[in-house]
Every structure is written in C-alpha cells, then in structure tokens.
C-alpha cells in the first residue's frame, strides 16, 4: 500500500506532503500527486521519524504474564515507536545466540516494530563471567548493545573485558550504574523524604561512583560506553566532564525521571517505586537541561511491566519499575517542549536519531526525506487529557501517570510504509 501523508508539519515546521511508496519515502513537498496512494490527512500533525527506544523490557521469554513481545511491540507502536531494544533480563537470560535470536524472531513475527535484542554482558547477568558476546553479535539478531540491566557490572575487571571485547564489532556496553554495597536494601532516593518515611535510601553517589569508574575505563580501553537511566545531577556533571575529555560515552534519561520527583514517595504508593529511584527536584531540573544541551543523548523508556500483584502491595516488597512506551512522547512534550527546552527537531534527535545511532540501527532514525525508509510518527500535540491506564495496550498497567493530564497523542505510526497505528488505533 502506498500512502500520501498530506499537510504534516515535519519536525514542527511548515506543512508538507510526504509520499510513501514500497516502504520508502519517495518525495517530500507541497501539492504532491496522490494517484495510486491512500491519502492520510495530517493537517496540524507533527511528523517525526519513527521513535526508537534503547531500553524496553518485553519480559518474553519467562514472564509472559507481565508482557510478551507481541503485546509490548503493540504498546510501542501506539506510542509512536518503530524500533525497540529488548533488555536481556528475561528467563532464561538473553546471554546466548539462541535466546537473542528467539526474541528477534518473535519481533519479526509480531510485525509492529523492529525488535533489536540486547545481549547480557555476563552469563545469567550474574556479573562473574562474560556471556557469549561474539556469538550474539554474529547471530541473526546482530546484537550491538550489551547490558546486565537490572544489575550493575560491578567488577571492574569484568567491565574492562566487556568493553575490550565489544570493540571488535562496534558494540556498546550499556551499564546499569548501581554500586551494590551502597544500595543494599534501598527503597527510594536517600534524602529528607526517605528519612521522613523511614525507608532505606539509595544514595546518589552509588550511581555516580560507578559512572565515574566506567567513563575512565571506557577512555582507557577506547570503547563505547552507554549509561542507562541517568538520574542525578552529579551523574550529569561526570558525563559532561567525560565528554569534554573525548571519552566515548553516551547516556539516556527516562521520561519519568524528567517529570517526577521523590516527593511522590510520600504517598507510599509503590507505583512510584523504580530503579534508579525518583530523585529531587534539583536532579529533575539538571536532567532536563542535560537532555537539552546534549550531555544526555537520548530518552529511553525503561518500560518495565509488572503484573498487578507485584505492584499493589506494600512498598517494601513491591517490584521496582513502571511502564512508559505509550506515554513517553506526551511526557517529553510536557517536560521539554512545553518548557521551551527542546523544539520538535530536538525531540526527533533525542527520541529517534540518537538512540538509533547508539544502537547502530541503520534503517531507523533517518531524516524524513526522499530515500529514507518510511518509518514515521504522526503526532497531535494539542489535546490535553488525563492518562487512562485501563485503555493502555501493554499487558500491564503500572503507570505512574494514570490520572495525570498530559498533552498530545500519537495519531499514526508507519513501519517501512505500513501503518501499525492509524487514527490512534492499532492496525
């Protein structure tokens, strides 16, 4: 099916038509000929390159009660995504060529967006022995991002060996920066709120110390390091310093860390329990400015679905994590566009081009111009409405934004010219 997207504001600019044929953008301009193409009225909509997520938990294999590759990629399409990186902490762990190929094939069969598996750095994400990094890189899934996310690669020698190993195939190690001894029993951000609530604190230094070590290791080895879900102002300063020294480091921030602070924990509602924890208002401000000035390269959702029984319990035993694929773009609009920190071109870079570049996805994150794959998100930034968790496509409902009024909605998502979402509905 060929499509003519009529009158979309590309990256928020002047209205233009986008002609899509055989999965590719063939022309961009005004008054394009629609013969043989289905017309999509995009007047007033912002056109962005299809969004790319570097950090998604699809839970399959092993926890299909929380999410599957199919349900997670449907949620991704509804959020405007055309590619997601599926994290490795599944059951079994994605630490072999067999498991990453399984996840990759499930993504192809579902067909809602590209699924690029992330390989574990260590066997069983136990932090003791390197996983089959080369075999995963050479597999059909062609893994380029490796992470023990959920666990920190805390052994400096193991981390150095991983950085050295992935250089051979231009891979990147994505670190979950959490010094384990400093965060034993941690329940929330360490500070005035944790003291008031009597909950064990997760100090900022536990994140910052690991990042400081790793940027020096990456510089020493000359290999790519990516820092997952940066959450503190101190981490931002370390990454800024590392980049100024030419260290090959990139970083991501989650939508929830851009909008929410640790005051939410005062409700004792475990919906706000996440790793790393929500931080202070000063940290939130630092993260926003770091994303705006490019110190933090991209937004990644850390979409972490959990079944109801894992979250609707007392705080101390509740699972950490929150879903985010379907609310990421509205949250970024609220935190970054409505505040004047980013324009839509900046959003396209931070949510599509940069994550595609870090993950080495050559067919994603491309400019909306003739010759690019037709991976396109059409977004209406104008409506504000309360988030309805019951209407979400994910199998899980653990969103911290339920009931919160946010702007915008994804109207259509095209994956190589095929609409996966049209008029706000899955196709």
Catalytic (active-site) positions = 302
41 is in an annotated binding site: no
229 is in an annotated binding site: yes
209 contacts: CB under 8 Å, gap ≥ 6: 179, 182
58 is in an annotated binding site: yes
302 is in an annotated binding site: yes
176 is in an annotated binding site: yes
User: What does the buried/exposed string (b/e) look like for 383-400 if buried means 16 or more CB atoms within 10 Å of the residue's CB?
Assistant: eeeebebeebbbbbbbbb
φ, ψ for residue 90 (rounded to 5)? -100, -170
59 is in an annotated binding site: yes
φ, ψ for residue 168 (rounded to 5)? -60, -25
55 is in an annotated binding site: yes
Listed residue (334, 318, 336) closest to 387, CA to CA: 334
220 is in an annotated binding site: no
2 is in an annotated binding site: no
275 is in an annotated binding site: yes
Query: What value, to the nearest 5°, has the Cα angle with vertex 15 and ends 11 and 19?
Result: 85
Asked whether the beta carbons of 164 and 195 are under 8 A apart, the reply is: no
303 is in an annotated binding site: no
Task: Pick out the residues of the known binding site for Zn(2+).
Answer: 55, 57, 149, 176, 229, 302
Task: Pick out the residues of the known binding site.
Answer: 55, 57-59, 89, 149, 176, 229, 275, 302, 306
Task: Pick out the residues of the known binding site for substrate.
Answer: 57-59, 89, 275, 306
């Amino acid at each position: 099916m060929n499509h003519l997207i009529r009158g979309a504001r590309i990256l928020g600019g002047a209205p233009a038509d986008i002609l899509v044929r055989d999965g590719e953008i063939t022309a961009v301009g005004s008054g394009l000929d629609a013969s043989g193409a289905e017309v999509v009225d995009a007047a007033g909509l912002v056109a962005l390159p299809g969004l790319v997520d570097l950090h998604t938990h699809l839970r399959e294999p092993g926890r299909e009660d929380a999410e599957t590759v199919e349900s997670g990629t449907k949620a991704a399409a509804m959020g405007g995504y055309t590619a997601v990186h599926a994290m490795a902490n599944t059951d079994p762990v994605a630490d072999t060529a067999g498991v990453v190929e399984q996840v990759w094939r499930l993504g192809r069969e579902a067909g809602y967006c590209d699924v690029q598996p992330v390989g574990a750095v260590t066997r069983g994400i136990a932090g003791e022995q390197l996983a089959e990094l080369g075999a995963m890189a050479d597999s059909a899934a062609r893994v380029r991002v490796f992470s023990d996310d959920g666990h920190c690669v805390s052994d400096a020698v193991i981390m150095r060996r991983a950085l050295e190993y992935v250089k051979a195939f231009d891979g990147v190690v994505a670190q979950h920066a959490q010094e384990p001894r400093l965060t034993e029993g941690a329940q929330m951000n360490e500070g005035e709120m944790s003291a008031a609530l009597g909950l064990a604190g997760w100090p900022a230094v536990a994140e910052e110390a690991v990042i400081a070590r790793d940027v020096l290791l990456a510089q020493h080895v000359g290999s790519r390091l990516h820092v997952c879900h940066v959450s503190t102002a101190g981490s931002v300063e370390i990454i800024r310093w590392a980049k100024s020294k030419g260290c090959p480091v990139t970083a991501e921030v989650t939508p929830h860390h851009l909008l929410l602070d640790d005051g939410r924990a005062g409700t004792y509602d475990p919906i706000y329990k996440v790793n790393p924890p929500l931080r202070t208002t000063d940290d939130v401000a630092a993260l926003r400015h770091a994303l705006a000035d490019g110190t933090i390269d991209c937004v990644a959702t850390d979409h972490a679905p959990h079944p109801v029984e894992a979250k609707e319990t007392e705080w101390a035993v509740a699972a950490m994590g929150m879903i985010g694929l379907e609310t990421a773009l509205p949250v970024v609009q609220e935190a970054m566009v409505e505040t004047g920190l980013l324009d839509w071109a900046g959003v396209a870079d931070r949510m599509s081009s940069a994550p595609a570049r870090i993950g080495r996805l050559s067919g994603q994150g491309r400019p909306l111009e003739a010759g690019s794959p037709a991976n396109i998100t059409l977004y209406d930034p104008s409506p504000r409405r309360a988030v309805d968790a019951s209407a979400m496509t994910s199998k899980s409902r653990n969103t911290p934004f339920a009931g919160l009024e946010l702007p915008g909605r994804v109207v259509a998502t095209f994956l190589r010219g095929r609409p996966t979402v049209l008029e706000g509905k899955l196709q």
